[in-house]
Amino acid sequence: MKEYIDISASLHTNSLTLFVGTGFSKYITNGKAPSWIELMAQITNKIDKKNVLLNQLFNVNKDGDVKDTVYDLTIIAQILEAEYRRNKKDIKNAVAEIINDSVNEKTIDKEKLEELQEFFKKYPSINIITTNYDTIFSDYVLPNSSRVFVEGGPIPRLNSHQNIFHIHGCITKPNSIVLTLNDYFNFQNSQNYFARKFFTLLQETTVCVLGYSLGDFNLNTILSEVNNNKTSSFRKSDLYYISRTDVPEIISSFYSFTYGIKTLELTEVNEFFNQIDKTYPKAKEILETITNLNSVLKGGKKYTDDFLKLRLSLSKILLQASNIGIENNDEDFLKLILKVLDKKREFSTGDGAWEQYEHLADWLIEVASCITIKDSLIEEDFLDLVKYSLRKASKKKWKGYSWYAWKEWKYRWNEMKLENQIIVKDLIENNRWDSDLEIEKIIE
């Protein structure tokens, strides 16, 4: 539930982005929309009546159904594009025909559509990024209130509608579709307005990944690109992966500490939107209690406990500081940050507050990534908080210790400024730790 409070808080501050994949289209069409491998098989069948290409490019079962591929799908698309050209046909027009036949008014579930329309009408500030080629959002979910961005198309000027970014093209403009290996290479190396805007949203808003498999090529390519181009800023993003099924612990751990993704398992699309709607009033109430940072610095007001229990509250404070021009070495600001961190430590001592240990580790690393702690007036107190966080962390899942806090320290170590890495490394090397916690392995 606390994750949804954070997501809803981002929605209230107009900083929520949905990153939507094929699973969303399958959900609203009850499976009629093709997956990428299904789309490739159908494209092959359109030009390969004797199944010669199908058997060379795909592994097929005894019933003639495609199980998996012999080559990467982008390579298969590149091969098929050449075959289409030899037959004086356009593969991207074929893609548009298949999508039009499978995603339309007849295949869309009316009840699911009405629920989505109601949600997006209620919350019109959400950015939508999709690798889907279909027009479900613009033609059905938001038929009269969307600004559609497609590569090569005009940039919409009206600002009153919801943004839909078709980053891999759309069937309304078939030549925009990103399909082949060459298409993906060109997309990844694009420096135009569209690409810059897209990566800015992924870096500066809370992003919920919906309708993808964690093994999806599109998803992993984009996450890697974002991870490699992170900007150093007070502004921080959060990533959530919404899964209909269980996610193995080793997989969720990898994505959490490689890309910073938090996984919400066993969650259907409709449940995801229902939970946001359910928690939004509480998030709105919390955020509306936030007073002006200048007022807090002057001592006249303070942040509420409900606000500070949120994972995103520190990033909101840092963003406020950035927006009003406070330097990250301002002494009053450093004292405030120390109070906020100490409050988070206090929260971690409550019953059932395990996420607060993770939050504290996250916050300490976040502060150390944008503020030079070494030789500052808060260095001693900051290191005391680090020591507390480490003493409550464990590589293994021991009762009473936080495995997630240990992972934060281990896998986000290099995010900290070098000067701060040095003083924390010295702290670890110059203190005794319970050997079962394996704290020393954080710096190996």
Average pLDDT over residues 124-137: 95
Length of the chain: 444
Q: Look at residue 252 in the predicted model and tell me its pLDDT.
A: 81
pTM of the model: 0.76
Residue 104 token pair: 């339309």
Average pLDDT over residues 11-18: 91
DSSP 173: B
Average pLDDT over residues 149-153: 80
DSSP 324-349: TT--TT-HHHHHHHHHHHHHHHHHTT
Listed residue (100, 93, 94) closest to 175, CA to CA? 93
CA atoms in the 13 A half-sphere facing the CB of 378: 25
Listed residue (157, 167, 229, 172) closest to 192, CA to CA? 167
Residue 378 token pair: 């808060």
| Distance between CA atoms of residues 131 and 177, nearest Å | 9
Q: Look at residue 381 in the predicted model and tell me its pLDDT.
A: 97
Strands 16-20 and 206-210, how do they pair? Answer: parallel
Residue 300: helix, strand or coil by DSSP? coil
Partners of 241 in the β-ladder:
209, 263
Can you count the helices (H) and strands (E) in the chain?
20, 9
| Rg (the chain; Cα; Å) | 24
Where in the chain are the domains?
2-31+105-271, 36-102, 290-443
* Helix (H), strand (E) at residue 6: helix 2-12
Residue 91: helix, strand or coil by DSSP? helix
CB 143 within 8 A of CB 136: no
Top-tier CATH class for 2-31+105-271 = alpha beta
Average pLDDT over residues 218-228: 77
Listed residue (249, 272, 178) closest to 217, CA to CA? 178
Listed residue (393, 320, 331, 336) closest to 359, CA to CA? 393
Q: Look at residue 46 in the predicted model and tell me its pLDDT.
A: 93
* 6 pLDDT tier (thresholds 50, 70, 90): confident
Residue with tokens 């069937």: 171
Percent above pLDDT 90 for the chain: 55
For the ranges 11-20, 270-279, 416-425, the one whose mean pLDDT is highest: 270-279
DSSP 151-172: TTSPPP---SSEEEEETT-BTT
Maximum Cα–Cα distance across the chain: 79
Across the beta sheet with 16-20, the strand order is: 146-150, 162-166, 127-130, 16-20, 206-210, 239-242, 261-264
Partners of 44 in the β-ladder:
none
Residue with tokens 């090397």: 429
Average pLDDT over residues 140-152: 89
DSSP 196-230: HHHHHHHHHSEEEEES--TT-HHHHHHHHHHHHTP
Listed residue (372, 370, 386, 369) closest to 424, CA to CA? 386
pLDDT digits (tens, 9 = 90+) for 167-214: 999 999 999 999 999 998 888 777 766 677 777 888 778 899 999 998
CB 179 within 8 A of CB 185: no
Quick check: 135 pLDDT over 90?
Answer: yes
Q: Look at residue 332 in the predicted model and tell me its pLDDT.
A: 92
Quick check: 421 pLDDT over 80?
Answer: yes
The whole-chain average pLDDT of the chain stands at 88
Quick check: 288 pLDDT over 80?
Answer: no
Which residues, at least 6 apart from 97, have a Cβ–Cβ distance to it below 8 Å?
Answer: none
Quick check: 159 pLDDT over 70?
Answer: no
Listed residue (22, 25, 20, 23) closest to 209, CA to CA? 20
CB 280 within 8 A of CB 272: no
Around Cβ 444, how many Cβ atoms within 10 Å?
6
Phi, then psi, of 31 in degrees rounded to 5: 90, 0
pLDDT digits (tens, 9 = 90+) for 343-394: 999 999 987 778 899 999 999 998 998 889 989 999 999 999 999 999 999 9
* 41 pLDDT tier (thresholds 50, 70, 90): very high
